[in-house]
C-alpha cells in the first residue's frame, strides 16, 4: 500500500493560479492512491469548485490533503478552510442554482454530489471549513464492463 508521501500537503488558495495548483495536486494524489480515471476527474472537479469557493467567497484560505484508510480501502481527504464571512444559510448554499458569486450556482451542491463524504462547518463572521473524502472503492458498487 502506498505511503502518504506526495499526497499529504497544505496548499494556499490565494489566486486563480493557486486553483490550478490545487487541481494538479489532487489529480496526482488521486492517481497515486489508485483512483480510476472517472473518480479522479470527479474529485479534481469537486476540489476545483471548493477551492474557488474558498477564494471567491472566503477571501482566500488553504487546502489540506491527506491519505486515509478505512476497512482496507484507501481514500483521499481534502479540507478547504477560509476565514471569510461564513455562510449564513448552508442549506440554501447547497441547493442547486443558488449563487452569490456570479457563477451557475452549482459549486457547493455539485461538489457534494461528486464526492463520497461531505461535511461543512461554517461560523458567520469566522470562516468556513469544507471537508470531503472519496474512496478508491465503494463496497456496494458493482463492477462495470464495457
Residues 6 or more apart whose CB falls under 8 angstroms from that of 47 comprise 22, 23, 26, 63, 78, 132
Q: How far is the CB of 96 from other proteins (least distance, A)?
A: 5
Instruction: Work out whether 5 is an interface residue with other proteins (CB under 8 A).
Output: no
CB 44 within 8 A of CB 27: yes
Residues in region 117-146 near other proteins by CB under 8 A: none
Encoded one letter per residue, x for contact with other proteins by CB under 8 A and - for no contact, window 45-84 reads x--xx--x--------------------------------
Stretch that binds other proteins, among 1-9, 74-82, 106-114, 121-129 (CB under 8 A): 106-114
Could you count the other beta carbons within 10 Å of the beta carbon of residue 137?
Answer: 14
Least Cβ distance, residue 22 to other proteins (angstroms) = 10
- Do β-strands 73-82 and 127-135 pair in parallel, antiparallel, or remain unpaired? antiparallel
Q: Which of 37, 72, 142, 144 binds other proteins (CB under 8 A)?
A: 37
CB burial string 49-78: b at 16+ within 10 A, e below: bbbbbbbbbbeebbbebbbbeeeeebbbbb
Closest CB to other proteins among residues 12, 124: 12
Residue 8 sits in the site that holds other proteins (CB under 8 A): no
Amino acid at each position: 500500500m502506498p505511503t502518504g508521501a506526495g499526497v499529504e500537503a497544505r496548499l494556499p488558495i490565494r489566486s486563480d493560479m493557486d486553483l490550478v495548483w490545487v487541481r494538479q495536486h489532487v489529480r496526482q494524489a488521486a492517481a497515486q492512491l489508485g483512483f480510476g480515471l472517472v473518480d479522479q476527474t470527479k474529485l479534481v472537479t469537486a476540489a476545483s469548485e471548493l477551492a474557488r469557493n474558498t477564494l471567491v467567497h472566503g477571501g482566500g484560505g488553504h487546502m489540506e490533503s491527506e491519505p486515509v484508510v478505512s476497512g482496507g480501502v484507501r481514500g483521499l481527504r481534502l479540507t478547504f478552510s477560509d476565514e471569510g464571512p461564513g455562510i449564513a444559510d448552508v442549506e440554501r448554499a447547497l441547493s442547486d442554482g443558488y449563487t452569490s458569486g456570479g457563477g451557475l450556482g452549482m459549486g457547493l451542491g455539485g461538489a457534494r454530489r461528486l464526492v463520497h463524504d461531505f461535511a461543512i462547518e461554517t461560523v458567520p463572521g469566522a470562516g468556513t471549513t469544507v471537508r470531503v473524502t472519496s474512496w478508491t472503492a465503494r463496497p456496494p458498487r458493482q463492477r462495470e464492463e464495457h
